[in-house]
Structure 1
Amino acid sequence: MDPTPTDQSLARSRSIGVGQALIAYLFWGYGTGIYFKLLDEVNAFELLAWRVLAGLPVMLVLLALPPGYGRIRDAFRGRGATLLLTTSTILITVNWFTFIFAVVSGRLVEASLGYYINPLVSVLLGRLFLGERLTSLQKFAIGIAGLGVIVFIWSTISNLRPDATGTGGSLIDLPWISIVLPISFGLYGLCRKKMRADAISGLTIEMMLLLPFMLALQLFLAGRGDTSFLKVDLRTDLLLIAGGVVTVLPLVAFAAAARRLRLTTIGILQYIAPTCQFLLAILFFGEEITTFKAAAFVLIWIAVILYAADAWRTSRHTTEMKS
């Protein structure tokens, strides 16, 4: 059976979505990690503020392109639109700060683990809120990933115990980063999936909602003498301003991809970013990984491979049925 125009249009839309997702994940994997590492002496809260202060002007320029600023009004149409936009704003703020903290504090390995878990969180959210079915292999993969998280947490707890000198870690050393990142970003993707707002208008609204809070945060830090902008060197100033592009590019690409792809498809592609982050952390940033943590990653990788293989098999079967 020859493909219908509708099938061809759907296939083209999905291909575009995959390309957009690849741009987002490669940039998140390498670009943002390197960017924040270059600014690791800057206060993490100031970095968060500059993501909005430098990012909003970029978004307003993009929003001026056709069909223009009317998209802001359209974004608030529909039942629950305001609640969805407010929720997505909170979620992306939590996600941004957590990742920034992970990089500047030398815990990018934990962030990469969190984003390895993220695809499986997306699968669960797709099942719970969008009615997407889970196969037996997907359930098994989620179980293995859960075991990997338990191993990772256990290895961290072991390091918190006092050693022979009576010293040990603190609660902040627990792998909360690996939990907060996938949950916040998985829920953010779900909100995006349910919104009427397009990628550009949605992100612009989120930044507009954050603007007064980020201005207040920057003023608060300045009052404490804890800011770096215009106080360190020109390189630091330029990097902070460049945070607008660093923030906007991958998020716009992801938001656009989320509207074209199923959450399960996004789940397959999401492992690209954590792989890049893991390589950066180990090979270039010099972060250490213990035997137990390595075992946890092996379990997570097995889960990702099982899930991806099952999704590929399902996609191939669907294609053959349509042919």
Structure 2
Amino acid sequence: MTGTSHTETELRRQASLGAIAAGGGYVLWGLSVIFYKQLDHVASLEILAHRTLWSVALIAVLIIGLRRKAELVAIFRDKRTLATLVLTAYILASNWFIFIWAVNSGRVLETSLGYFINPLVSVLAGVLILGERLTRAQMLAMALATIGVVYFTMSLGFAPWISLYLAVSFAAYGYLRKVTRVGALEGLFIEVLALMPAAIAYLAYLSSHGGTGFAHDGWYTIFLLMLTGPMTTVPLLLFTYGAQRIRLTTLGLLQYLVPTTSFAIAVWVYGEPLGQGQIVTFALIWIGLAIFTFDTWRRERELRRMIVA
């Protein structure tokens, strides 16, 4: 009895630590808006190049320190997995670039909208690619999100292409990484390694055509550009640690911390305008997400009951 009680206590402790870690990772991703805003004087492509190079350096140290070299070598021997990771690398790079560019162009609200839409786009991908069936609640959530995007387009006169691209590209990235059985750390290392030649080539080009922000904008800019590595890797490690210890429903709820944090920063820190078009759009998507999340929680609870029975 004591042994069982001790096991349950340990499981609860691990779940609590997992929730804190995953939540912390998501909040850091949300707060990264403020971080990248400090680099708005540096070209977005240069920031992306530095994010790649400093991530390579940091993850290499972590792989050596955590003794994960064997797992990394195994990936290099699997040509199909390697090819998939090269593809995901460029999908991820495009997502990073649009995000950085949008933040530094004063369009943080649109990035927030994109990451609110992302879970629903992932569900749609499951329908189109895997032939999954939508529940009525999921169909209602998808319909509300679609109406929200259409309303945004009609009221403001342009489609929220930043939001849509971030949502679709991240959903595609998530799907490909899900079907590619590699560790988060090793997979990210291969991805940034695949991007490294292009990053070096671009920085070399800038150096020979007027110079880089890293070389000319002072120690504060240098420090921030070096931090792009930890700002990429640390949230991922926290997320991975948490994901291994908490339920999928909990993880799904926590993911909304990213766009919620970005939304709050956009409105209350940077004063981005929140007109009627944005308010209605966000309201429709929030209602859709609430329905979607409740449906996911209800179905997971029923599944657990069936397993116990």
The bucket for the TM-score relative to the shorter chain is: 0.7 to 0.9
What is the aligned-residue identity percentage? 40
Q: Deviation at 1:250?
A: 2.0
Residue 257 to residue 121, structure 1, CA distance change in 2 (3 Å): farther
1:210-259 deviation digits (Å, cap 9, x = unpaired): 11100111122223326211312211111111111001112344466678
Task: List aligned pairs for 1:228-267, cutoff 5 A.
Answer: 228-254=213-239, 267=252
Residue 296 to residue 281, structure 1, CA distance change in 2 (3 Å): same
Task: List aligned pairs for 1:82-121, cutoff 5 A.
Answer: 82-121=82-121
Task: List aligned pairs for 1:165-184, cutoff 5 A.
Answer: 174-184=159-169
SS across alignment from 1:134: coil
Match of 1:71 in 2: 71
Residue 273 to residue 246, structure 1, CA distance change in 2 (3 Å): same
2:191 is the counterpart of 1:190: no
2:287 is the counterpart of 1:286: no
Query: Which structure has more helix as a fraction of its residues?
Result: 2
2:57 is the counterpart of 1:57: yes
SS across alignment from 2:213: coil
Task: List aligned pairs for 1:137-152, cutoff 5 A.
Answer: 137-152=137-152
Residue 125 to residue 266, structure 1, CA distance change in 2 (3 Å): farther
Q: Deviation at 1:86?
A: 1.4
Q: Distance in 1 between matches of 2:277 and 2:107?
A: 16
Residue 78 to residue 133, structure 1, CA distance change in 2 (3 Å): farther
Q: TM-score, normalised by structure 2?
A: 0.87
Match of 2:46 in 1: 46
Aligned residues: 302
Match of 1:28 in 2: 29
Residue 18 to residue 78, structure 1, CA distance change in 2 (3 Å): farther
Q: Is the 8 A contact 1:119 1:271 kept in 2?
A: no
Match of 1:206 in 2: 191
Match of 1:164 in 2: none
Match of 1:275 in 2: 260
Q: Deviation at 1:125?
A: 2.6
1:97-132 deviation digits (Å, cap 9, x = unpaired): 011011100000000000000011122233444565
Specify the code of the residue in structure 1 equivalent to 2:277: F
Q: Which runs of 5+ in 1 are unaligned?
A: 159-173
Q: TM-score, normalised by structure 1?
A: 0.84
1:117-154 deviation digits (Å, cap 9, x = unpaired): 00111222334445654311011101111111111222
Q: Deviation at 1:25?
A: 1.6
Q: Distance in 1 between matches of 2:78 and 2:71?
A: 13
Q: Distance in 2 between matches of 1:182 and 1:112?
A: 10
Q: Is the 8 A contact 1:46 1:218 kept in 2?
A: yes
Q: Is the 8 A contact 2:249 2:300 kept in 1?
A: no
Match of 1:301 in 2: 286
Specify the code of the residue in structure 2 equivalent to 1:92: L
Q: Deviation at 1:175?
A: 2.3
Q: Is the 8 A contact 1:192 1:259 kept in 2?
A: no
Q: Deviation at 1:287?
A: 0.8
Q: Considering only aligned residues, what root-mean-square deviation do their CA atoms show, in Å?
A: 2.9
SS across alignment from 1:80: helix
Q: Distance in 2 between matches of 1:17 and 1:295?
A: 35
